[in-house]
Chain A
């Protein structure tokens, strides 16, 4: 199931493209945006998103950020829902191996840049790593207020009461906060931010992380950032404090009880099995002899 986990050596770059595909002026525009995003944690910087050679929704925002920051010495890891071996992850990894000739890896600690769709790795990140998140809808207020003019004013005025109303409606309907992914957070006590559709299980990993977090939305043409060691708090209520998902099961492959588990349906009778969503974490535990049985 898991392919070789050693870093893949640098392949020769396809000289038909500029390094990492994007032209230099586009990279400069994105880079200036990234500097402002880091200076204003959680604020959404508009940028002139380019058309990428794949459709919106496949990570065009994340790819543009990766292209703008990527250098020849970087080691790139790409995950999709935690897995290194899914279509989206494999294609994006191959894209940058071809256009930038960079080394790629599936090992979290070896990567300098990790582009991700919908997960943060289980293995703790370190200070020399940059996480790049693919974001479908960057505006946390969008489902409540469809107008960009209005949401921008709400951010400007620090007017986020409506966000709590949404969470309260969850409690009124279901008895608990039913939002399980893209759970809104407050960054450094100012901007309310959509952490991208990561499960709320991963929200605590954003708080005071030693790694720099960059978020890119290609269709919406917004980028934002959480610098290292920044306070990121999930919205909640005193009597309904924020809580992460828990499972009664262990991973069927590595036996982990700490990681985020995916449910697998094995047959027509609905027999369930649970496995780690982070394939590298799972494979490492197996290689350390933690396999079940």
Chain B
């Protein structure tokens, strides 16, 4: 496991403030995440006053989720796009989270849309402890604009129509790795909005004509 906690090698000038109110802003971000995961497909917004100052490369909601959820117990995997000196320096300083280069060791991962065709390596948990799986934070340009899909499952009264701008490859990748109760939970983030996709949600992404509904 290659962990780097080498903050000393990063210039202190990269550091910037985190939450203005570390206790209540973290709580508000968490509650937005809880609501997003308990109501899959419905976007939750964070208020500008509750999000941390802009960190180059991270959307406001990605940054807020990292500050709210990460600490020394949560190794983080960064997609190349987010593996910048500024992000490394600030997350290691404010969260204290180890940054790992190995997907298997990550409890959280920060991804952009270029990574979504291949989710191999992330921990899916095991049948006894499915909660030990990795949580993905996926930063997108927008939470709309893609093909409209129907989501069903816990947290959804009948079905939610969600049009995330994702390729079908992502849905295939997710389905091939979801073996309930094992699976991956995702937060999609754009700007100050976030949207939850727990492993329990069934997404009908295949055209009606193909055999074997999702």
Contacts and interface: CB of A to CB of B under 8 A. Distances in A.
Given A24-B22, A28-B71, A188-B154, A69 B127 contact: no
A140 interface: no
Contact of A229 (B24, B26, B155): B155
A70 interface: yes
Q: Majority SS of interface residues in chain A? A: mixed
A35 B184 CA distance: 12
Nearest to A34: B34
Contact of B198 (A31, A39, A191, A212): A39
Contacts of B71: 25, 28
Contacts, number: 114
B95 to A, nearest CB: 9
A36 B72 CA distance: 18
A226 B155 CA distance: 9
Nearest to B39: A228
A43 B128 CA distance: 10
Contacts of B157: 208, 210, 228-229
A24 B30 CA distance: 12
Contact of A190 (B34, B129, B181): B181
A61 interface: no
Contact of B185 (A39, A152, A231): A39
Contacts of A212: 34, 38
Contacts of B130: 36, 40, 43
Contacts of A210: 157
Interface in A27-48: 27-29, 31-41, 43, 45-46
Interface in A1-58: 18-19, 24-25, 27-29, 31-41, 43, 45-46
A8 to B, nearest CB: 20
A156 interface: yes
Given A28-B69, A32-B74, A227-B38, A39 B128 contact: no
Interface residues of B, number: 41
B69 A31 contact: yes
A71 B31 contact: yes
Contact of A31 (B39, B68, B133, B153): B68
A273 interface: no
B201 to A, nearest CB: 9
B173 interface: no
Given A40-B130, A40-B199, A41-B200, A35 B27 contact: no
A30 B181 CA distance: 20
Q: Which of A39, A40, A191 has the most CB of B within 10 A?
A: A39
A225 B200 CA distance: 13
A179 interface: no
Contacts of A231: 154
Contacts of A69: 27, 30-31, 34
A41 B71 CA distance: 25
Interface string B178-210: 001101010000000000001110000000000
Given A39-B185, A39-B200, A227-B200, 9 more contacts: A27-B27, A31-B34, A32-B107, A35-B69, A40-B181, A43-B131, A212-B34, A228-B155, A229-B155
18 contacts: A19-B24, A24-B23, A25-B71, A31-B69, A32-B69, A35-B185, A37-B131, A38-B34, A38-B155, A39-B183, A40-B130, A46-B129, A69-B34, A71-B28, A153-B128, A155-B128, A227-B154, A228-B155
